[in-house]
Amino acid sequence: MNHSFEALRLPQYRRLALGFLLTMVADNVEHVVSYWVLFQKFDSPVLGGFAVVSHWLPYLLFALPAGALADRFDPRRLIQVGLAMFMACSLGWACLFVTDSLEVWVAMCLLVLHGLAGVLWSIATQIILYDLVPTGTLPSAVRTLATTRYLGLIVGPGIGGALMLLLGTEYSLVANVLLYLPNMIWLINAPCGPQFRPPGSTPPARPFKGLSDLGTTLAEVMQHRSMWKMMLLAGGASWFISSSYQAQMPAYAHDIGHADPGFTYSLLLAADALGALCAGLLWEYWGQRSPASTRKAMVFALVWAVSMALFAMADRYAIAVVLLFVAGFAELTSNATAQTIVQTSAPLHIRGRVIGLFNMAALGLRFGSGLMVGVMGGWLGIHGSLVAACLSFVAFLLFLQLHFKKGHVS
C-alpha cells in the first residue's frame, strides 16, 4: 500500500492544511509590511530586537497555559481567538499607518499581541490533528504541516512585497485580513473538538496550576525517555542556533559579495526554507518507509549544526547557498521527527500541556540563540559566533547521546 502524502488524502485535513498555509502567508505578509514601516519611521535597532523577542518570548511564557486551555476547552475556538487577534493586529497597523499616528509604545503593544496570537493558534492547531487524522497517519500530518509552514515562509514575503507595491502599506494590511478568513470560517463547523471524540478519548478538564503544573508535566514527560530526549533536543537546537543567523544575513551576504537587493540575495535568504520544503516533500513521498526515530532526529540535528558551521566559514556564494539548503533540509527533518515522537507519545490526560511544553522548548528558547549569535558576535564577529554556537550545540548533542545511552531509545 502506498503511504505517500497519506494525510493529504483526508478531505478535512486538506482544509486544515490550506487554512494553515494561508495563515502562515498572512503572518509573513504582516511581518514584511509592518517591519518595513517600523524601519522607515523609527530606524531603531532596539525596536527591531523587540520585534524578534515579542515573537518568541510568548511561547516561553504562555505555551504551557495555552496547552492547558486546549486540554480543557474546544481547540477550534482557541484557534479562532488567535486568528481574531491576528486580524486585529493587521487592522491596527493599517489604521495607524493611514492616520500617521504610529508611536513606539503602540507598535510594541501590537507586536506583543501578535506573539500571543501565534501561541494560541499554533498549539491548538497541533491539538486538532488528533481529531482529523488516525493515529497511524499522525506522522504524515505533522510533516505536512511543517512543510506547509516553510512554504508560507517562502511565499509570504513575496506576496507581502507585491501587495505593498499594488495597494500601498496601509491597504495591503487590510487585504491581508482576508487571508485569515477561510480558516476562521472552516473552523465554525469543522469536525474536531471534544464533541466529535469517542468516549474516553477526551482529556479530563483540569485547571491550570501555574508552576506546579509545569513541574507535574515535566515529571511525567521524563518518564517517557524518547519524548524527554526529543524535548531536550528541541530546546538545545532552539537555544544554541535556531534562526538567529537570519537577522545577520545582510552581513553574511556582504562578506561574500552579494549584499545588494536582487535575486542572488533573495536566494540566499530563501535557501534554507527551500531545503526544508524539499525535505518535507521527500519524506512524505517515502511515507512509512522512513519512520520517526530518535536516532534520525539526532543525526539530522548534527548535519544541521555542521552545515551551519561550514556556512559561517564559507567564502563563496554557491557554497553558501548549498550549505543553507542542506541545513534547511536537515533542520526540518530533525524538528518534524522530534515533534512526531512527542505528539504520538503524549499521554491523553496531559496532551495539550505536553505539546505546550514542547513549544516552550522548540520556540520559546529561541531568544537564547540571539544571545549566542548576537552577543558573542561582539567578541568573535558574526562568523566566529555562529561557529561557536554550532560547536556548542554539537557538544550538547554528544552530552545528550551519552546521557541516554544507559537505556536504549529506539
Nearest CA to 274 out of 241, 323, 313 is that of 323
Mean pLDDT of the chain: 84
**pLDDT band at residue 197 using 50, 70 and 90 as cut-offs:** low
Q: Write the Ramachandran bin of 198: left for phi over 0, alpha for psi from -120 to 50, otherwise beta.
A: beta
User: What CATH code is carried by the domain that includes residue 220?
Assistant: 1.20.1250.20
Q: Same structural domain for residues 123 and 213?
A: no
Q: Is residue 17 part of a domain?
A: yes
152 and 89: one domain? Answer: yes
**Given phi > 0 = left and psi -120 to 50 = alpha, else beta, which region is 69?**
alpha
Domain assignment present for residue 98? The answer is yes
CA distance 373 to 367: 10
Task: Say yes or no: 248 and 313 in one domain.
Answer: yes
Q: Are 294 and 405 part of one and the same domain?
A: yes
Residue 16 belongs to what domain range?
A: 1-189
Is 346 contained in some domain?
yes
One domain for residues 171 and 238: no
In the predicted structure, residue 286 carries a pLDDT above the cut 90: no
Q: What is the pLDDT of residues 301-330, one digit of tens each?
A: 999 999 999 999 998 889 999 999 999 999
* 172 in the same domain as 66: yes
pLDDT tens-digit map of 143-156: 899 889 888 888 88
Same domain, 148 and 215: no
Q: Are residues 240 and 163 in the same domain?
A: no
Tally the domains of the chain.
Answer: 2
Q: Looking at the structure, do residues 235 and 94 belong to the same domain, yes or no?
A: no
Last residue of a domain, one of 133, 161, 189: 189
In the three-class reduction of DSSP (H, G, I as helix; E, B as strand; rest coil), residue 201 is classed as coil
Q: 248-278: string of b/e by CB count within 10 Å (b at 16+)?
A: beeebbeebebbeeeeebeebbbbbbbbbbb
> Is residue 199, in this structure, part of any structural domain at all?
no
Q: At which residue does the C-alpha cell 491597504 appear?
A: 171
Are the beta carbons of 114 and 233 closer than 8 angstroms? no
Answer yes or no: is 79 within a domain.
yes
101-115, 276-290, 326-340 — which one is most confidently predicted on average? 326-340
Residues 214 and 184 in one domain: no
